[in-house]
Structure 1
Amino acid sequence: MRIRFEEWLEEQEIDIEANDLFKESIICYKASGYRAALLFSFLGFQTIIKHRVINSKPAKDYSEGVWNHLKKELRNDDKWDKLIFDTIQNKKKPIFNLTEDLREQYLFWKNRRNDCAHAKGNTISYPHVEGFWLFIQSNLAKFVINGGMKFILQEIRNHFDPARTPIGTPVEPIIRQIPFTIEKIDYNDFLLELKDFSLKQQSKSVYKIFDKNIANMWYQLFSLQDSYCEIIVNFLVKELSFCLVVIRRKPEIVQYFYNKETFIRMLWKKDFSVSDDYKAFIELLRHNLIHKSQLSEAFDHVFSTLDTVVFDEDAWWLEVDEGINDLDKLVLLENGFFTKFNTIAFESERIVYNFNWANRNKDLIIYYIKHFGLNETVVTAINNALTASNPPFKLRDELTYFYKQTQQQLELHIEISEKNSLNIPKMLIGLRTE
């Protein structure tokens, strides 16, 4: 039978040494060996604290030399346990930001550990073990190194400094330290500092483009515990302009706003305005974040608002992950995107009657022809658009280039026109090659 503490343990970023001690304590607990269970659990807790100090930069008011000496002492098997206790109880030069109440609770459990280790007269039973586990679950995140926020921010600055860190080095190891170095109460302040740093990095860019690696760092923040995720979601909802910048460089982030219905609707209805937003729009569809009753409205809105260059499969300037891939196409198909487009563009002939709409959707029109083929409805709408008194010139040029490159499609277009007695634009006849 699994117990709650086991499930909680699996969700934590805990080193192997401490994790093994906790697993052994769980085995003892299930076998009713409560003294051993509490003893191993306390050693597991102490081990976590030890590794936090060893893996951290100097705490506030500690010099590099003093801190390195402390870390050396913590590697001594005969000294480290007592040294952790003394460090936690140190009020004159604290390493951890702890309240007096938390220190007293820690002292209580340290004394109960001694009852187990030295076979003292106090009875130790399952409530003690479960109580200590609750203490760990409630307070582990509070044992963070003094000055932890400053440390993490400096680690991030160093990470994005190419003189210090090779480009492409994973940022995840730094992100994983956040729960151990920044208390939740300070996390919003940390995000504000991180936002300022991110925007400064953008200003350093030659083209003022937001760095994809910076966007990925924000994405990695969502890999932390749910309570941290909730804070960052609420932060980004309030920092809308910055949120949009991040989303455009890392569209997958939108999945974490699943419980922000108003935000999601405003995103596609009001804030999406550039071609890059198509990728974020597809992520909304992928995660079912747009209610089915709003899909038709949403499709019509993006057709009328967003440029469709992401559908241009020959656009050399698009990076691999910026265009529409097969999985994106499947998501659009399953949600009726192309059916709606066919209805508006060809059946209702909006490409004929709306000059700007036709030009805006030129790449999507070519994409549709490539992937879904030509039929009488599509050919009729295209012919009418090209022979209109004011034809959409961008769409005309795109079709000209497409048919020059694909003579087979051109011949099919002309064949369908002739079969259905449609007026064939002269420009298409002129594109035929011998």
Structure 2
Amino acid sequence: MRIRFEEWLDEQEIDIEANDLFKESIICYKASAYRAALLFSFLGFQTIIKHRVINSKPAKDYPEGEWNQLKKELLNDDKWDKLIIEAIQSKKKPIFNLTEDLREQYLFWKNRRNDCAHAKGNTISYPHVEGFWLFIQSNLAKFVVNGGMKFILQEIGNHFDPARTPIGTPVEPIIRQIPFTIEKIDYNDFLLELKDFSLKHQSKSVYKIFDRNIANMWFQLFSLQDSYCEIIVGFLVKELSFCLEVIRRQPEIVQYFYNKETFIRMLWKKDFSISNDYKAFIEMLRHNLIPKSQLSEAFDHMFNTLDTEFFDEDAWWLQIKENENDGINDLDKLVLIEKGFFTRFNTIAFENEKIAYNFKWGNRNKELIIYYINHFGLNKTVVTAINNALTASNPPFKLRDELTYFYKQNQQQLELHIEISEKNSLSVPKILIGLRD
């Protein structure tokens, strides 16, 4: 039967030497040889630290010559274990950024290792082995040269390097290490470094598009403790342009800004500018982030500002979409209905006939108009507005082309449109008559 420590090991990138020692430790544990289990586990831990030092650039305050000498001595089988212990306990010239409490915990487990190695009188049983494994799981990421922040950033860099990590590998195991690795006081500095990494990763893209996997990594940061979430919200609010790029690729993030009313208003009022911003807008509606008193204003602003390719259900890019964030889905539709979005659109577009007298407005909302017809049907009000738009002296030509293509592909809707027109003594535009098969 596999134990939890084995599953944790599988998620780590541990060198073969250390991994073999941990496997021997697990074998001994399952055979109730607890002294041997603890001894091999401690050696595995020490081996990881040794390799981290050997593979690292010089620690702070260490000249390159002195650092190279230390790495050379760590290759000596008779010296390396003692050198690692001294390095961890050193306060005058520390290699690792450790708290006093963590040093004391390490010293405790070093002494328990000595109990095992020298057959001292202290009893060693399974709780000791399991306790040390918990210590490793909680603190391994802190035992890195120059501190845990650098370690996490290196892990993230490796994760997004396709030569090291297969694309699609979950980033969550790295994110879960953050509370054990980075102190809250240093978290804002970490986010600055992560932002720089994210932008550099973006710049390597041929199309300079913000990477969806990078955006998902930022989304996963919100799975941490509330205190860490508060810090990241505060950070992103100050980094508005960067935050907008993340939100565009991972719209669900907006839900965590529920207590940032000004920020939310600025997003939809000032910063939303492309069609796919509708997805983040719907997330705002889903989580009640826009006050009810501002909904009509918000809807009007979206109609007046954003093109509506987002609502195009026949768009070619929907056939190759990456995930559900591309285009409107049924749950989005329900949110928009419940909040009164389509009711407001019907009032402006059809009852007030804005599609007929506002050239730019009609063209901008052409896909939304087709979506409305498809999902809510035709009636006298809708048909009247469409007829007036198509027969206007200066018709919105993009909307006209969209409507003619739609009716050409949907003869049933075309016939219904003509039937409603004739029933209500409305003049049918010639362009529609010519579309009949």
Q: TM-score, normalised by structure 1?
A: 0.73
The residue aligned with 1:299 is 299
Partner of 2:309: 309
> How much has 1:90 moved relative to structure 2?
3.9
More displaced, 176-185 or 89-98?
89-98
1:171 alignment partner in structure 2: 171
1:364 to 359, 368, 372: 368
After TM superposition, give the deviation of residue 430 of structure 1 in Å. 0.5
Match of residue 7 from structure 1: none
Alignment of 1:347 with 2:356, yes or no, is no
Say which is worse superposed, 255-264 or 141-150, in terms of deviation.
141-150
Partner of 2:150: 150
Equivalent runs, 1:369-388 vs 2, <5 Å:
369-388=373-392
Alignment partners' CA distance in 2, 1:143 and 1:332: 47
User: Residue 98 of structure 1: CA displacement?
Assistant: 3.9
1:18-57 matches, cutoff 5 A: 57=52
Q: Give percent identity, aligned residues only.
A: 78
Displacement of 1:53 in angstroms is 9.3
Change (3 A) 1:327 1:141: farther
Contact 1:141–1:179 under 8 Å retained in 2? no
1:274 and 1:306 in contact (8 A); partners too: yes
1:420 counterpart letter in structure 2: N
CA contact (8 A) 2:282 2:332 kept: yes
CA distance in 2, matches of 1:365, 1:99: 62
Range with bigger deviation, 51-60 or 178-187? 51-60
Structure-2 residue corresponding to 1:214: 214
Q: CA deviation at 1:355?
A: 0.8
Alpha-carbon RMSD across the aligned residues, in angstroms, is 3.9
Give the count of matched residue pairs: 367
User: Does 2:399 match 1:399?
Assistant: no
**Superposition pairs of residues 9-408 of structure 1, within 5 angstroms:** 57-58=52-53, 61=59, 89-92=89-92, 94=94, 96-98=96-98, 145-147=144-146, 148-318=148-318, 319=321, 320-321=323-324, 322-408=326-412
Residues 88 and 103 in structure 1, CA contact (< 8 A), matched pair in contact too: yes
Would you say the 8 A contact 1:282–1:331 is kept in 2?
A: yes
Is the Cα–Cα contact under 8 Å of residues 57 and 151 in structure 1 kept in the other structure? no
- TM-superposition CA deviations, 1:336-390 (whole Å, max 9, x none): 1111111111011111111111111000000000000000000000001111110
**Against the structure 1 CA distance between its residues 66 and 199, is the aligned structure 2 distance closer, same or farther, given a 3 Å change threshold?**
farther
Return closer, same or farther for 1:415/1:163 CA change in 2, 3 Å cut-off.
same
Q: Name the CA distance, whole Å, in 2 between partners of 1:65 and 1:299.
A: 67
Runs of 5+ consecutive residues of structure 2 not aligned to the other structure = 9-40, 60-66, 112-120, 123-134
CA distance in 2 between counterparts of 1:54 and 1:287 reads 45
- Structure 2 distance, partners of 1:68, 1:261, is 58
C-alpha distance 69-410 of structure 1, shift in aligned 2 (>3 A): farther
Task: Tell me, yes or no, if the aligned pair for 1:352 and 1:382 is still in contact at 8 Å.
Answer: yes
Work out whether residues 144 and 182 of structure 1, in 8 Å CA contact, stay in contact via their aligned partners in 2.
Answer: no
Task: Determine if contact 2:141/2:151 at 8 Å carries over to the other structure.
Answer: no
> 3-state DSSP class of the match of 2:317?
coil
Q: Secondary structure at the match of 1:374?
A: coil
Q: What is the CA–CA distance in structure 1 between the aligned matches of 2:177 and 2:347, rounded to whole Å?
A: 52
Give the Cα–Cα distance (whole angstroms) in 2 for the partners of residues 151 and 295 of structure 1: 45
Deviation at 1:91, TM superposition (A): 2.5
Q: Contact between 2:311 and 2:371, CA under 8 Å: does it hold in 1?
A: yes
**Contact 1:53 1:145 (C-alpha < 8 Å) held by counterparts:** no
Deviation at residue 16 of structure 1 after TM alignment: 5.7
Which amino acid is the alignment partner of residue 217 of structure 1? M
Letter in 1 for 2:416: L
CA distance in 2, matches of 1:358, 1:343: 14
* Matched-pair contact (CA < 8 Å) for 2:74–2:83: no
8 A contact 1:358–1:395 mirrored in 2: yes
In structure 2, C-alpha distance between the alignment counterparts of 1:142 and 1:207, rounded to whole Å: 35
Distance (whole Å) between structure 2 residues aligned to residue 53 and residue 228 of structure 1: 32
Unaligned runs of 5+ in 1: 1-14, 20-46, 75-81, 112-117, 120-135
Rounded to whole Å, the distance in 1 between the matches of 2:241 and 2:398 is: 31
Partner of 2:413: 409
Q: Which amino acid in structure 1 is aligned with residue 168 of structure 2? A: G
Deviation at 1:51, TM superposition (A): 7.2
Change (3 A) 1:84 1:209: same
Alpha carbons of structure 1 residues 88 and 351: separation in structure 2 relative to 1, 3 Å: same
- The one-letter amino acid of 1:326's match is D
Provide Cα deviations, 1:294-343, integer angstroms capped at 9, x if missing partner: 11111111011111101000001131521100111111111111111111
Please identify, of 289-298 and 177-186, the stretch whose mean Cα deviation from structure 2 is larger. Answer: 177-186
